[in-house]
Amino acid sequence: MRHEWSSRLTFILAAVGSAVGLGNIWKFPYITGEYGGGVFILAYLFCICLIGVPIMLAEIGLGRRGKHSPVNTMLQLSREAGAHPAWSLLGWSGMAAGCLILSYYSVIAGEVMAYSFRASSGMFNQQTADGIKGIYTSLVSEPEKLLAWHTIFMSLTVLSVAKGVRDGLEKTVVFLMPALFVLLILLVIYAVNSGGFDQAVDFMFTPDPDKFFYARNDIGHYLMDAQGDKIFTWKPMMVAMGHAFFTLSLGMGAIMMYGSYLNPHVSIGQMTLIIVSLDTLVAILAGLAIFPLVFANGLDPAAGPGLIFETLPLAFGNMTGGALIGTLFFILLFFAALSSAISLIEPSVAWLIESKGVRRIKATVWVGTIVWFIGIGSIFAFSGTSLHDILQILFRWFGIEHVELSQTFLKYNFFTVIDFFTASIMLPVGGLLIAIFAGWVMHQDTTEREFSFHNRHVYPVWQVMVRYVSPFLVLMVFLNIIGIFKF
Ligand code: PHE
């Protein structure tokens, strides 16, 4: 028999475990920094409310109705609604997105593990900003080290998933999530007194549209076109929307998978509100902990993916009990990453078990190995290999020696490409299809019953959102990036 979550609380914990992770604490601060602060956060919150919430309701609902892995859930639901079975492609692209995301997620989680050891050894004590930056540079410039940590993290993910998702998750999340939350608050309190708090609040909450809408170079200067005008860019909007999906684990079937274990009497609306509020709160707290350190130490908010590793250790190195608090923080962040990693891999594992009759252990090892391999590309990226280098190697393989490659390839690497492709394209497209399926393809009485909203005014509102508002907004962002509209 297919089991369900043992209680409503377990579902919330598992879903929060999936949602809260590196996306909130590692990614949100550095992309906020990169895209200029205030307006980026506004755009992100806007997407969370108008796109994230309705689509999360839809995704949980589809999962609970389908009761299978995303591919089979979509097959079953399309049969039920008399729609084309090609809707199951949604499940396939979700599995692909999950594996691609996990491939770099695991490398970063590996860095987090490495940092818990560095914190405990007292390495951060009394360091200057330059010293802390040096520690990070020395870690990422050794691909062997990153590979070792990536291997350890993937093995732990495989072990947890092989045991069966629910047993492990229930215990980890009950204790560790609240503990992480408490430590974050501690860090914010430290940050309030660090000297950069006002500037950080200003950066995060005062909108500066220029920084968001106009392209800037690596050192923050605006790029100019031939007429000397600033160059408009829609990419930050794309990243903000993509991050709303990423941070809520939407658009790739993770939440659908967890919804499939949910018992039919629970109100999906309440669940969604709790998950979304906690996830957003954690991200904002992470920003409030990190940006004051950035400004108090004269660092660059647009430092990129290394941002948390170059800022938080400064706090740990200077507070009393910092070695202990730092170690605990990175260990808890590791568990938050693990509970997200589990949900990234579970749709693929569940599909192999259901459709191919593979045993859970074997299925997990297979998927884990593929993901591990792809992750090697990101290891090279973090240690400095650009897309330019990779293309040159490829050309040389084919015997072409001297090619002039555009300088823009120097700016991108395997990680940035995979990240943009998954978070900013695959997840929003997945979410768009989920919204259309739940809003237009499924029968109304099915969705109405399935969502069991306690308040009868909620259903029509949700329906308008999922039919018109969310798809329209996602499409707008896409059409703008291809340049069809000029917003
Ligand atoms: N939401 C997770 C985070 O913020 C990442 C994730 C994305 C997990 C997509 C599952 C699916 O870290």
Q: Which structure tokens are listed for 478?
A: 């896409």
Q: What is the percent of the chain with per-residue pLDDT over 70, rounded to a whole number? A: 97
Atom of ligand 1 nearest to the CA of 341: 8
The residue whose C-alpha atom lies closest to atom 6 belonging to ligand 1 is 249
Mean pLDDT along residues 54-81: 96
Three-state secondary-structure class, residue 224: strand
CA of 407 relative to ligand 1 center, distance in Å: 32
Strand partners, 222: 216
pLDDT surpasses 80 at 6: no
The pTM score is: 0.95
> What region does 483 belong to: left with phi over 0, alpha with psi -120 to 50, or beta?
left
Atom of ligand 1 nearest to the CA of 344: 10
Atom of ligand 1 nearest to the CA of 337: 12
Atom of ligand 1 nearest to the CA of 340: 8
pLDDT at site 166: 67
The residue whose C-alpha atom lies closest to atom 11 belonging to ligand 1 is 249
pLDDT at site 146: 97
- Say if residues 161 and 349 touch (Cβ distance below 8 Å): yes
Query: In whole angstroms, what is the distance from residue 16 CA to residue 302 CA?
Result: 28
Atom of ligand 1 nearest to the CA of 248: 1
pLDDT at site 32: 97
Q: How confident is the model at residue 486 (pLDDT cuts 50, 70, 90)?
A: low
Q: What is the pLDDT of residues 247-269, one digit of tens each?
A: 999 999 999 999 998 888 888 88
> Which residue did the predictor score with more confidence, 388 or 103?
103
- Which amino acid makes up residue 114? A
Name every residue whose Cβ is closer than 8 Å to that of residue 394 and which is 6 or more positions away in sequence: none
pLDDT at site 245: 98
Mean pLDDT along residues 293-304: 93
CA of 188 relative to ligand 1 center, distance in Å: 23
Query: In whole angstroms, what is the distance from residue 45 CA to residue 244 CA?
Result: 8
- Say if residues 373 and 59 touch (Cβ distance below 8 Å): no
Does the structural domain 8-482 have CATH classification 1.20.1740?
A: yes
Ligand 1 probe mutation, 55, 247, 282, 346, most atoms within 8 A of CB: 247
CA of 250 relative to ligand 1 center, distance in Å: 8
pLDDT surpasses 60 at 406: yes
Q: What is the pLDDT of residues 410-460, one digit of tens each?
A: 889 999 999 999 999 999 999 999 999 999 999 988 888 887 677 778 899
Instruction: Please report, for the chain, the start and end positions of each structural domain, with discontinuous segments joined by +.
Output: 8-482
Q: What is the pLDDT of residues 339-386, one digit of tens each?
A: 999 999 999 999 999 999 999 999 999 999 999 999 999 999 999 888
Q: What is the pLDDT of residues 156-207, one digit of tens each?
A: 999 999 987 666 677 777 788 889 999 999 999 999 998 999 999 999 999 9
pLDDT surpasses 50 at 1: no
As for ligand 1, residues whose beta carbon falls within 6 Å of it are 18-19, 21-24, 101, 246-247, 249, 252, 254, 340, 343-344
Q: What is the pLDDT of residues 195-207, one digit of tens each?
A: 999 999 999 999 9
